[in-house]
C-alpha cells in the first residue's frame, strides 16, 4: 500500500555513506568512522555496582519518574557544573535521553517551518538532520580554526534573524577544533545584543589533553543565564548505553522543553538515571576522565604520526575530543574512495555530509579513540596504502 507520511518526513535524510559503513560492522574492517569511545576503558565493574545499588534501594527506580529527571542526580550535576563556572539550579536542569534528545527537544520547541538556524560549517551531522526534520533552514556562518567570524555572524543575525545559533565550541565534531576565548565572548555578546539563543553542544569538553588550558564554556560566559542553553552527556565519559545527557539554561526554555519531553517519552529511564547517580556519588569520575585523557592522547599521537607521513593531506592536531579532520590538498573525492578503503580493510567518514553549504569532497574524519593502539597502527597502514599515492 501507499503510506502517506507527513510532509515533514521529506526532510528526513539518510546518507548513502551509511550502506558502505554498515559493511564495516562485519569482517576485519578497522573502522575509524564512528564516534565511539573505547570499550577497554568502560568502568564495567563500577557500572555493575551502581545498578546493584539501584536494585538494593527499593522499587522506586522501577516506577515512573518526573519528566525533568531524578532530582538527586540533577543536584550532583549542579555541583559538577559549578566547578566549570556554570551556575544553575536543579529546576533549570533536565535529564535527557542522550544529548541528542536535548537537540531534538530544543528544535521541537523553537522551530516553525522555515525558521532559521545558524551553525558552523562543517558541523555535527545528526544536529543538521534534526533541524531539517523540524523544517528549519540551516545557514552557516563563516569561520576559521578559532571559531565563528563575529562580523559574518553579526551580519547573518541582522539579515537572517535566526531562531538560534548551534555550536560545538570545544573539540568539535567533525573538525576536532576548539574556539578561542575571544570568539566565545564575541558570540555570547552578539547573542545578548540581538536577543538570540545559543545552543552549546558539549559532549567532548571533558576529553581535554592539555591540563593547563582552560576553555570556558559559553554557558559560563552567560552570567545572567539568559541566552545560552548548554547540553552535555555521559556517553563519552562513562558509557553511551546509559543514554544519559542533560541540558541547562533559562528556566522558561527548560520548562517548555520538559513539556515537549512529556509528549516524546514522559521521562528518561529511571533505572539508568539512578545508576548514574550512584556512580557519580561513589566513583571517582574525575580520575576516570583523567585516565581517558591520557589514553586517548596516546592514541591520537599514534594516528598523528601516520598522518604526518601521508603526503598531500593536511590536518590540525586536536587538543581533545575524538577526531582528526583531514583535508586532501588536491580535489580528491573521499566519498568515491571509501569503497576502495573498505576493500583494504579500513573505513573513515567522508566529510561532505557534515557541510551545510558547498560540501568539500576532499575532506574526511577519523576517530582515534575506539581502536586499540595496535589496531590504530594496522588501520593507518591500510589507509596509507590507499591514500599514499592518490594524494601526491
Ligand atoms: N552532539 C555531538 C556533537 C555528538 O558528536 C554527539 C554524539 N555523536 C551527540 C551530540 C549525541 O550524543 P549522546 O546522545 O550520546 O549524548
Q: Which atom of ligand 1 is nearest to the CA of 240?
A: 15
Query: What is the distance in A from the centroid of ligand 1 to the CA of 304?
Result: 24
Confidence check: pLDDT of 27 > 80: no
Distance CA 143, CA 120 (A): 7
End-to-end CA distance of the chain: 52
Which one of 33, 95, 99, 102 would you pick to mutate in the ligand 1 pocket, going by the greatest count of ligand atoms within 8 A of its CB?
99
Query: What is the distance in A from the centroid of ligand 1 to the CA of 69?
Result: 19
Mean pLDDT of 286-304: 98
pLDDT band at 335 (very low <50, low <70, confident <90, very high): very high
Mean pLDDT of 14-20: 66
Angle at 50 between CA 49 and CA 52, to 5 degrees: 65
Distance CA 151, CA 142 (A): 9
Domain 63-282 = CATH 3.40.50.720: no
Q: Which atom of ligand 1 is nearest to the CA of 100?
A: 14
Q: Is there a cis peptide before residue 174, judged by omega within 30 degrees of 0?
A: yes
Distance CA 15, CA 186 (A): 34
pLDDT at 17: 65
Which one of 176, 233, 320, 349 would you pick to mutate in the ligand 1 pocket, going by the greatest count of ligand atoms within 8 A of its CB?
233
Structure-block grid coordinates of residue 220: 559560563
Query: What is the distance in A from the centroid of ligand 1 to the CA of 100?
Result: 6
Q: Which atom of ligand 1 is nearest to the CA of 234?
A: 16
The predicted-structure confidence for 213-227, as pLDDT tens digits, reads as follows 999 999 999 989 999
Which one of 101, 124, 273 would you pick to mutate in the ligand 1 pocket, going by the greatest count of ligand atoms within 8 A of its CB?
124
For residue 27, is it left (φ>0), alpha (ψ between -120 and 50) or beta?
Answer: left
**CB 170 within 8 Å of CB 217:** yes
Q: Which atom of ligand 1 is nearest to the CA of 101?
A: 14
The predicted-structure confidence for 40-80, as pLDDT tens digits, reads as follows 999 999 999 999 999 999 988 999 999 999 999 999 999 99
Structure-block grid coordinates of residue 315: 590536518
Distance CA 364, CA 344 (A): 17
**Domain locations in the chain as residue ranges:** 7-42+286-391, 63-282
Distance CA 307, CA 313 (A): 8
Q: Which atom of ligand 1 is nearest to the CA of 244?
A: 16
Q: Which atom of ligand 1 is nearest to the CA of 103?
A: 10
Q: Which atom of ligand 1 is nearest to the CA of 236?
A: 15
* Phi, psi of 371, rounded to the nearest 5 degrees: -85, 145
Confidence check: pLDDT of 15 > 70: no
Which one of 229, 230, 235, 236 would you pick to mutate in the ligand 1 pocket, going by the greatest count of ligand atoms within 8 A of its CB?
235
Query: What is the distance in A from the centroid of ligand 1 to the CA of 302?
Result: 24
Task: Write down the pTM of the prediction.
Answer: 0.96
Q: Which residues, at least 6 apart from 244, have a Cβ–Cβ distance to it below 8 Å?
A: 95, 97, 98, 233, 234, 235, 238, 268, 272, 273, 276
Sign of the CA dihedral 354, 225, 276, 267? negative
Distance CA 265, CA 97 (A): 9
Distance CA 234, CA 239 (A): 6
The CATH label, of 2.170.120.12, 3.90.1150.10, 3.30.210.10, 1.10.3720.10, for the domain at 7-42+286-391 is 3.90.1150.10
Query: What is the distance in A from the centroid of ligand 1 to the CA of 127?
Result: 9
The continuous run of DSSP H or E covering 376 comes out as helix 373-390
Which one of 36, 100, 167, 323 would you pick to mutate in the ligand 1 pocket, going by the greatest count of ligand atoms within 8 A of its CB?
100
The predicted-structure confidence for 301-331, as pLDDT tens digits, reads as follows 999 999 999 999 999 999 999 999 999 999 9
pLDDT at 16: 59
**CB 55 within 8 Å of CB 271:** no
Pocket of ligand 1 (CB under 6 A): 35, 98-100, 124, 168, 173, 201, 203, 233, 235, 240, 245
pLDDT band at 8 (very low <50, low <70, confident <90, very high): confident
Q: Which atom of ligand 1 is nearest to the CA of 233?
A: 16
Ligand 1 atom 8, closest CA: 35
Dihedral over alpha carbons 171, 177, 182, 185 (to 10 degrees): -40
Query: What is the distance in A from the centroid of ligand 1 to the CA of 99?
Result: 6
The predicted-structure confidence for 175-202, as pLDDT tens digits, reads as follows 999 999 999 999 999 999 999 999 999 9
Angle at 306 between CA 304 and CA 312, to 5 degrees: 95
DSSP label at 8?
Answer: G
Dihedral over alpha carbons 115, 117, 121, 122 (to 10 degrees): -90
* Burial tier of 374 (Cβ tally within 10 Å: 0-12, 13-18, 19+): exposed
Query: What is the distance in A from the centroid of ligand 1 to the CA of 232?
Result: 8
Query: What is the distance in A from the centroid of ligand 1 to the CA of 239?
Result: 12
Cβ atoms within 10 Å of 266's Cβ, excluding its own: 11
Amino acid at each position: 500500500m501507499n503510506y502517506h507520511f507527513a510532509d515533514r518526513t521529506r526532510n528526513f535524510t539518510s546518507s548513502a555513506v551509511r550502506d558502505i559503513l554498515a559493511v564495516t560492522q562485519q569482517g576485519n574492517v578497522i573502522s575509524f568512522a564512528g564516534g565511539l569511545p573505547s570499550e577497554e576503558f568502560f568502568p564495567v565493574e563500577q557500572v555493575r555496582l551502581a545498578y546493584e545499588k539501584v536494585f538494593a534501594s527499593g522499587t522506586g527506580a522501577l516506577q515512573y519518574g518526573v519528566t525533568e529527571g531524578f532530582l538527586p542526580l540533577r543536584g550532583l550535576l549542579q555541583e559538577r557544573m559549578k566547578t566549570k563556572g556554570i551556575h544553575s539550579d536543579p529546576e533549570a536542569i533536565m535529564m535527557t535521553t542522550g544529548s541528542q534528545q536535548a537537540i531534538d527537544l530544543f528544535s521541537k520547541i523553537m522551530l516553525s517551518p522555515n525558521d532559521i538556524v545558524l551553525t558552523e560549517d562543517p558541523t555535527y551531522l545528526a544536529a543538521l538532520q534534526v533541524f531539517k526534520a523540524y523544517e528549519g533552514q540551516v545557514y552557516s556562518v563563516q569561520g576559521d580554526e578559532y571559531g565563528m567570524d563575529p562580523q559574518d555572524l553579526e551580519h547573518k543575525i541582522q539579515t537572517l534573524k535566526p531562531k538560534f545559533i548551534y555550536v560545538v565550541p570545544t573539540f568539535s565534531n567533525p573538525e576536532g577544533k576548539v574556539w578561542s576565548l575571544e570568539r566565545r565572548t564575541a558570540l555570547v555578546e552578539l547573542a545578548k545584543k540581538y536577543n538570540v539563543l545559543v545552543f552549546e553542544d558539549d559532549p567532548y569538553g571533558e576529553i581535554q589533553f592539555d591540563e593547563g588550558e582552560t576553555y570556558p564554556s559559553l554557558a559560563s560566559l552567560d552570567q545572567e543565564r539568559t541566552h545560552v542553553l548548554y547540553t552535555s552527556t555521559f556517553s563519552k565519559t562513562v558509557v553511551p548505553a546509559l543514554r544519559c545527557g542533560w541540558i541547562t539554561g533559562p528556566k522558561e526554555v527548560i520548562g517548555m522543553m520538559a513539556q515537549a519531553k512529556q509528549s516524546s517519552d514522559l521521562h528518561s529511564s529511571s533505572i539508568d538515571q539512578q545508576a548514574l547517580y550512584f556512580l557519580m556519588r561513589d566513583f571517582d569520575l574525575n580520575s576516570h576522565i583523567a585516565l581517558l585523557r591520557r589514553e586517548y592522547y596516546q592514541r591520537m599521537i599514534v594516528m598523528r604520526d601516520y598522518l604526518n607521513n601521508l603526503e598531500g593531506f593536511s590536518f590540525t592536531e586536536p587538543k581533545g575530543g575524538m577526531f582528526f579532520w583531514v583535508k586532501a590538498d588536491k580535489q580528491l573525492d573521499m566519498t568515491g574512495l571509501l569503497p576502495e578503503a573498505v576493500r583494504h580493510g579500513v573505513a573513515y567518514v567522508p566529510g561532505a555530509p557534515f557541510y551545510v553549504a558547498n560540501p568539500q569532497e576532499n575532506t574526511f574524519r577519523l576517530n582515534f579513540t575506539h581502536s586499540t593502539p595496535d589496531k590504530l597502527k594496522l588501520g593507518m597502514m591500510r589507509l596509507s596504502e590507499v591514500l599514499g599515492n592518490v594524494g601526491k
